[in-house]
Structure 1
Amino acid sequence: MGRIFISAAHGGKEAGASDPGAIAGGTTEAREMILLRDLIVTELRARSFEVLAVPDDLSAAQTIAWINSRARSTDVALEVHSDAASNPTVRGASVFYIANNDQRKTHAEMLLLGLLRRVPQLPNRGAKPDTNSGLGSLQFCRQTAIAALLFQVGFLSNPEDRALLQTRRRDFALGIVDGLTSWSRAIDPSPANAPEANYPAINININGQNYPEQGILINGNSYIPIDLVDRLRIDLSKAPEVRRITYRRVVYVKAIELREFQVAIGWDSASRTLKLRSILTVCTGNMDQIISHGNTSEVQLQIFLRNNYENALIQFPDVPKLYREEATIEGVNHDIAFCQMCLETGFLRFGGDVKPQQNNFAGLGAIGGGTEAASFGSARIGVRAHIQHLKAYASLEPLVQEEVDPRFRFVTRGIAPLVEQLAGRWSADLDYGKKITAMIRRLYESAGLL
């Protein structure tokens, strides 16, 4: 039977300072996850599993390196997190897995089922690909050499989830252990000392054409020959985090990592075919330039909203149309503005300080830095203010329409023409631009543009 690595999120050093993770209700994510991790380790050992607990003083990158230096192919790794949201009503558990891996999705569902059987009061937020995370990928799922999952066991910012975690911690641990034991046995059902199986071959299709060489499947992840990466004109020399392995004297690369190099990844289970598709040329130059044109239709924006929040268009049925119209008038990329809105409002769920009736879709502040965000008389004016604020950051050109953005004149014009440059300016979050870019990629995948 394979071994189980357990990591408690946060607690180590990040950028030279101790990282507590989320903070809420007089406690920290690091503290709560260490306590939970310790119970999980105790219970696993009581069930005769070999467990390796990751030291608590390691950074995220050091955690992955620690696991990788000790891991065997039949081992599994789990990191436990809690989440936090500006809206304190948001709650529930979810498990993230590496995208485009149906096997790992099944494993994630095993873990969720184990926990929810022990703690049925906890809402189920589902098994999710790591592309649905804020940054569009999760290092723990991508860079860990063995099968890895990231378990968000609840929202520390929600009083009900926090109370459940603190008063029924052993039930949480038992439920996670139930799922872990099922997962570990699924990864390594063979008796000890059995010879390692050969990696199964898979077919590869590029832009509709079959590729003559096959790839391989490792722990449910598709790997492609390095020669194909070169053919795609992708330079991995400066991407050491992209996982490579040598198998039968050929170097292979984990296919999902190519998504960050503007390659869409798909999988056809029936034919065991990995499908690769280059991003349409129309999209490549526009994903980070605020002053440019968008690529999606109103219907595609509507579908994206509904797929992420089924009630999104009940109160604001015209929001997709408004973003396309208002952005076009000012020369702003409506895809970027729309995705920023999705990030800021949680796909029009709102919550926290900004209320739906304020028609403030981008967290714009009021003049004078008041405690409340700015309010607008209609959805159209709120969208217009958002577009104007983006234009202020990205362009020196004058506004086409009458100024309605209350903070337009306070922006240093043209200081941030690229999405990445909004980080630390529009939001204090230094990953803010990356989160918008990840949302754009999700939108384009939903629309079939990737």
Structure 2
Amino acid sequence: MGRIFISAAHGGRENGRIDPGTIAGGTTEAREMILLRDLIVTELRGRNWQVLSVPDDLSARGTINWINARANSRDVALEIQTDAAPNPSVRGATVFFIGNNAERKTNADLLLLALIQRVSQLPNRGTRPDTSISTGGLAFCRQTSIAALVMAVGFLTSPEDRRLLQTRRRDFAVGIAEGLISWSRVIDPSGTPSEPEYPSINININSKNYPNRGILVSGSAYMPTDLADELQVDLSKGSLGRVTYQGATYVKAVDLRTLGVSVGWDSATRTLNLKSASSNQEINEIMGSGRASEVQLHIFLRSKNESGSVQFPDIPSLYIEEARIEGVNHDIAFCQMCLETDFLRFSGNIKPQQNNFAGLGTVEGGSETATFESARIGVRAHIQHLKAYASSDPLSQEVVDPRFRFVTRGVAPIVEQLSGRWSADRNYGAKILAIVRQLYQSAGL
């Protein structure tokens, strides 16, 4: 069968320096595309397709040479990138194809449609010949020896597109992967992926062992979909990685966290431990799902410090989004932020512009406190530090917490155990829980 080559634009060395691509909203094009590329590769491999990921340190010319040295006529190649515009209201995705090539335009239409169907909130800017851009052509489309397209997945300069990409990255990845599979089948109609053999694993749900076995795919645990009722979750509501194996469908366990499921792994017994959101999660458990909505968090914060909610209007949504990605209870994280920042008054040594909401230190330690490039990255670092203490599971996103590696993993699964660890204050955990109870009282939970 034909193989799929995929390249994340920028990040390589151009003219003697690393090219980050577009920079906007506290992030770079290179970073966002590498994260998206990695998810696309995982999705394709989960569906048993052969995919080759272009090394990130190559230049644009080196990328093309790398592909040409390995490709054959049945393969396809895609480069993903973001667009940019002075006007932040300009939005949408497009796919570029080599000009005056009707077949490649049809391929581009197929790829773009698959993404838009998966992320319907993303405007469709249509497909465009590469002759329509200012340089008169795209080297990736023209100099790659196999069928090649360039996809702009949105405008990094658009807050709406950037938010979609960062909060629904897996949906982008699934849509692009499905488009790539359809395109590959057009180029090589006879190609079908061969089914590999996956090792089986044990499954424990709400402290009960099940005879149904899961599987390990590229180091990730997958659960058979027929156990969804045991978890009391609706799999149609989540953006979940799926594989079909020996006639059965499996979902990626870590993705179940978006549905409120607690996910753990016991390597000694090769057991996937799952706990449903309805299994009476204790108020003090750091890993799990929060109960308060974004509106309830806003109201609570405004009742304590209205100016803080004005200065950081997105802070409730950031905590919900980032905590959901890592499987952390956003109520606990948000209330810890309230304690650390005095409800965003920043009455201690940390300044608001540091975007440090949890008193995180630097790599050097001592009295120095970390500074983060945006509120989202600051929240992400906080969530990652909490997860370091509460769980031994790997992070779902790139590490931004400067002291993540210094934490003994999983030593504090409940809030009270943060006392004497996160803070020298022996009542630290109790103070966080007191704020959680205030939040629940305010929200009527």
Normalising by structure 1, we get a TM-score of: 0.42
